A and B are shown apart, each in its own frame.
Chain A
Amino acid sequence: MTRAFTPTATAASMPPLWRIVLVTLCTLILSSCRGPGSSPQGLPGGMGAAPPAPPHQGSSTLPPEAYTGPAVLPAGAWSGVPQGPPGMERGVPLPYVPVGPWAPPGIALPWPPDEYLADGGDGGIQAAVTPENQVRGLEMEDTVAHYDTIDGRTAVEPSNRIYLYSPRFGAVRQVVGVQLNEQLDRTLGVSVPEQAISQEGRRSLGSHKQQVQTVRQIGQKSTTTFRTKQGDGAMSAATGPRLFSDAFKPYENLTAIRTGQHQTAQMARLAQGVTAAIAWSHDLRVQVLLDAQAAAAVARHEKVETVFAVGEPPTEAKLRIIKVASTPFAEPGDTVDFTIRFDNVGSQPIRRVTILDSLTPRLEYVPDSTQSSIAANFSSSRNEGDSLVLRWELPEPLPPGKGGVLRFTCRVR
């Protein structure tokens, strides 16, 4: 017997009202789902988020026949000051946790953001440079630098973001006259009887046993050491505030600002005023050089020996830009000094280095307050917040290991 499908019969299998209600509920449930919250200002490195989990350490899985004693270096090998683990040269943002009275859990700090003036970083739309050398995506509060590499590429590097606690208040006024004196009577109490509902839940008792076989997993990861051109000493010996009206200020007393060299001991101080600081040195890793060539130690399990492989590190263009402020608090009318330290931490010279700082509407640039340690052409233009975009252009290429310091003053409106 063949049964014909008819819409009437299908619709009648369930009452239309119940079907509509069911579809409505399903749609509401699906549309109420939200994705995970993102950082509100596109903070670099996910400020306030939990630090990334450490990589899997497979040292405990070495076979018992593996050689774990000290490595015997050949004669003439040089063991210098470590340069940092792989990836450190790209910058590892450290979480910044400002000291505050209270903040809801799971919310990116600093909180609440409407009480802070932000400056630096690249929030919102990511800044980019067009072929006509026009910068797109530079929004208020952004501080970026762009440069050209020797292979013709144009790279954009944002700075860290700094925060100033500076709340400001406005007022909305309403004036009403006597003729509008109307009395509003509202219900003081509403009694809504509710029917008692008893809910009974039954859960069966039971035991569950799962047999899990112990599995030994051995991960073999080759040990590599990445070396950059950045040495231990002062990276930019020629860089200093020679043209400044005064020497380094107290809030600039950081080796990252004075000499361009990061020190782990100063990370806490640097993190107080910035959202993300970058650790550039690591004192625990062994560095090996053979005939002035970088060497990476390769440990193999099948042989009780150490093989030193000589490899040429790839050339890379990298500009590091750090921004600090003279104070974390500012009242309307106060002046705040900002210092920008930039360094070519890559292994190739970069050209047409341009540093842009788009000020927030609450920051007013003090005219003729900019100072630069190296030759730079300064200009300014209006941004969408009726504030200024400060622009420094370096007329000369910036060789590796060189950098400079910029300083300017703003008044809090």
Chain B
Amino acid sequence: MVNLLRRPVSNAESCWAVVAGRIMMVAILGWALRPADAQEPPVHFMVPPGLPPGAIGAQQLTRGGPLAGYFQPVEIRTPEGVLISLAEEGRFSTPVPVPLRLGLLVGQVYRFGLINVPTREGAELFPTIEVINRLYTPRGQETRFPIVIELTREDLSLALDGKLVTRVIYLEDPKRAVPVRQIDKGQGGFDVGPGQDPLTVADVLGRPMAIVRVGGRVPDHAQAPDPGFLFGCPPLLRLSPKAANGPQARTAAAVAAPSAAPGRTRR
């Protein structure tokens, strides 16, 4: 009886194949026996840095879940005296004082105007806010627990000096939270260098919720800004300041329910 080989194999070729196979097996076993996922910090998503405003939020919407059409309550805090105007219907509205509570759509980019910056008379800033995730607050408490976005005096000064300030707001992990009183110290923060991605750092520290970009860019025409500059003026909800558990808050919470259709309600 004779065994016929499909093709002649030399001893050297077979030896190389065996060695390569064993190396690959060791590599695969090493990857398979890596530490369990539970031992690693909970990382929610990774995106390449440098994406333009709106790209991360749009990518979040494609991941599914009750994100699309949800008006996430947001509270904007700035130094005292700063006035903020909202981009609505193609133009900026009348400035109002802060803190300001709004319901913003997840995945959209909102342009704001800041005036009356302390020690900078006549200066204007036009930051953007991009909500990339939402809270799952128990019913009736939605407006009581908004995402807090705080712009410090230093942020505004740096932006007026020509810097681009990017703040990634993240939800702290309770077990790894900084044990300080936020009510006294303000919103805690970490600074990362230009070579690092703040979104990745925030992803390690908690759950990224919003991205704020403050730079020196101004609209071409103050009276009728470019629609691209305003990112299309997506709809928003004006929430009463510091609304807690009253009937007004419940009404706003009902409007902000995930059943609300995208773009259905304006104010």
Contact = CB atoms under 8 A, between A and B. Distances in A.
A387 to B, nearest CB: 6
Contact of B32 (A9, A27, A140, A413): A27
Nearest to A140: B175
Contact of A175 (B65, B144, B164): B164
Interface stretch (B81-89, B94-102, B177-185, B220-228): B177-185
Nearest to B5: A12
Given A172-B168, A173-B198, A387-B179, A329 B144 contact: yes
B148 interface: yes
Nearest to A177: B163
A168 B137 contact: no
B190 A173 contact: yes
A172 B25 contact: no
Given A11-B18, A115-B137, A175-B164, A169 B181 contact: no
Contacts of B28: 24, 27-28, 31
A16 B169 contact: no
Interface string B128-156: 00000001111101001101101000010
Interface string B201-232: 11001110100000000000000000000000
Nearest to B6: A12
B138 A333 contact: no
B39 interface: no
A93 B162 CA distance: 60
Contacts, number: 217
Contact of B192 (A3, A7, A173, A360): A173
Given A101-B258, A102-B136, A176-B164, A114 B173 contact: yes
A171 B141 contact: no
B46 interface: no
A20 B24 contact: yes
Given A114-B171, A167-B171, A175 B163 contact: yes
A98 B205 CA distance: 26
Contacts of A113: 174
Nearest to A118: B174
Nearest to A171: B189
A100 interface: yes
B41 interface: no
Contacts of A180: 194
B62 interface: no
A135 B51 CA distance: 50
A222 to B, nearest CB: 44
Interface string A83-119: 0000000000000001111111000000111111110
A174 interface: yes
B206 to A, nearest CB: 7
B145 A167 contact: yes
The range of chain B's interface size is 35 or more
A31 B32 contact: yes
Given A12-B6, A101-B138, A174 B191 contact: yes
B206 A16 contact: no
B147 A169 contact: yes
B66 interface: yes
A333 B258 contact: no
Contacts of A12: 5-7, 9, 14
Contact of B189 (A9, A172, A385): A172
A184 B50 contact: yes
Given A12-B14, A16-B17, A171 B150 contact: yes
A337 interface: no
B242 to A, nearest CB: 10
A169 B139 contact: no
A172 B138 CA distance: 27
Nearest to B212: A171
Contacts of B158: 175
A332 B183 contact: yes
Given A8-B11, A360-B175, A413-B181, A172 B21 contact: no
A24 B24 CA distance: 8
B32 to A, nearest CB: 3
B3 interface: yes
Interface string A28-69: 101100000000000000000000000000000000000000
A360 to B, nearest CB: 6
Contact of A331 (B9, B32, B145, B192): B145
Interface in A352-385: 360-362, 364, 385
A386 B181 CA distance: 13
A23 B29 CA distance: 11
Given A117-B174, A141-B175, A361-B179, A172 B136 contact: no
A173 B165 contact: yes
B166 interface: yes
Given A11-B9, A360-B175, A23 B25 contact: yes
B135 A167 contact: yes
B196 A169 contact: no
Given A175-B191, A364-B181, 9 more contacts: A16-B18, A28-B32, A116-B174, A170-B187, A171-B167, A171-B202, A172-B201, A172-B202, A385-B175
13 contacts: A1-B1, A9-B5, A27-B29, A101-B137, A102-B258, A103-B136, A165-B145, A168-B174, A172-B189, A173-B168, A174-B166, A174-B191, A364-B181
Interface of B: 1, 3, 5-7, 9, 11, 13-14, 17-18, 20-21, 24-25, 28-29, 31-32, 50, 65-66, 135-139, 141, 144-145, 147-148, 150, 155, 158, 162-183, 187-194, 196, 198-199, 201-202, 205-207, 209, 257-258
8 closest Cβ contacts across the A-B interface?
Answer: A16-B17, A31-B32, A333-B183, A171-B189, A361-B179, A386-B179, A172-B198, A12-B9
